[in-house]
């Protein structure tokens, strides 16, 4: 009888140790993802602070169609809501990714126009935004590596058991995909339509 009690105690201790190891690993990997996401958010917040001034400068030059401006504003609004509401990590990554995808094609296209390059205000704002965008692009790889590590761990046996007990789910990757509407507007020439007048 004593042997069975000892075996039962050892099994229970083994289960507890297994759960603790799995929990600690999940927390460590999730914290790495949070750290990478916070770096991206810091730079995107800097872009978000400067973007209205840049947009107004470009609008003033007659280069930005209202629809494209609305797309940037919508992506920015979703991003800010996800960050301010303290949304879960998955929502924050998705909102950051959408915001980045909405602004990148426009930001990359702006320097092609000499009338903007001759404006000192535009150059100063664009240079600051470009530095932050470059940092986001660099941090994106770190975040995606951390997300991959986290997702692989929580989907691997036997840790999937601990992850399911804790309610952990796969996290999305930070993707650089042009927002579909922004892409269509750019391809249709809506963004640069007024450039022919210059």
87 vs 81 pLDDT, higher one? 81
Distance of CA 180 to the CA centre of its chain: 17
The residue ranking higher by pLDDT, 21 or 192, is 21
Per-residue pLDDT averaged across 18-30, rounded? 94
The radius of gyration of the chain's CA atoms, rounded to the nearest angstrom, is 23
pLDDT in tens, 128-168: 888 888 888 889 999 999 999 999 999 999 999 999 999 99
Taking residues 76-85, report their average pLDDT. Answer: 79
Checking if the pLDDT of 171 tops 50, the result is yes
Instruction: Compute the distance between CA of residue 198 and CA of residue 180 in angstroms, rounded to an integer.
Output: 28
As a whole number, the mean pLDDT across the chain is 80
DSSP state of 1: -
Q: Running DSSP on this structure, what letter comes out for residue 85?
A: T
pLDDT for the residue numbered 61: 65
Which among 59, 68, 79 has a CA at the least distance from the CA of 136? 79
pLDDT at residue 84, rounded to an integer: 80
């Amino acid at each position: 009888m004593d042997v069975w009690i000892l075996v039962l105690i050892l099994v229970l201790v083994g289960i507890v140790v297994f759960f603790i190891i799995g929990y600690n690993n999940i927390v460590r990997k999730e914290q790495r993802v949070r750290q990478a996401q916070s770096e991206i958010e810091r730079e995107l917040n800097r872009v978000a602070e400067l973007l209205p001034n840049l947009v107004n400068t470009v609008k003033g030059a007659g280069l930005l169609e209202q629809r494209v401006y609305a797309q940037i504003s919508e992506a920015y609004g979703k991003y800010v809501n996800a960050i301010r509401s303290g949304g879960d990590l998955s929502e924050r990554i998705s909102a950051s990714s959408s915001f980045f995808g909405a602004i990148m094609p426009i930001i990359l296209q702006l320097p092609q126009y000499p009338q903007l390059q001759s404006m000192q205000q535009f150059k100063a704002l664009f240079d600051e935004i470009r530095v932050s965008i470059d940092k986001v692009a660099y941090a994106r790889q770190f975040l995606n590596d951390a997300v991959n590590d986290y997702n692989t761990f929580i989907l691997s046996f036997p840790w999937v058991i601990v992850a399911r007990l804790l309610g952990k789910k796969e996290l999305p990757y930070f993707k650089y995909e042009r927002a579909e509407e922004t892409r269509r507007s750019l391809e249709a020439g809506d963004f640069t339509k007024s450039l022919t007048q210059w």
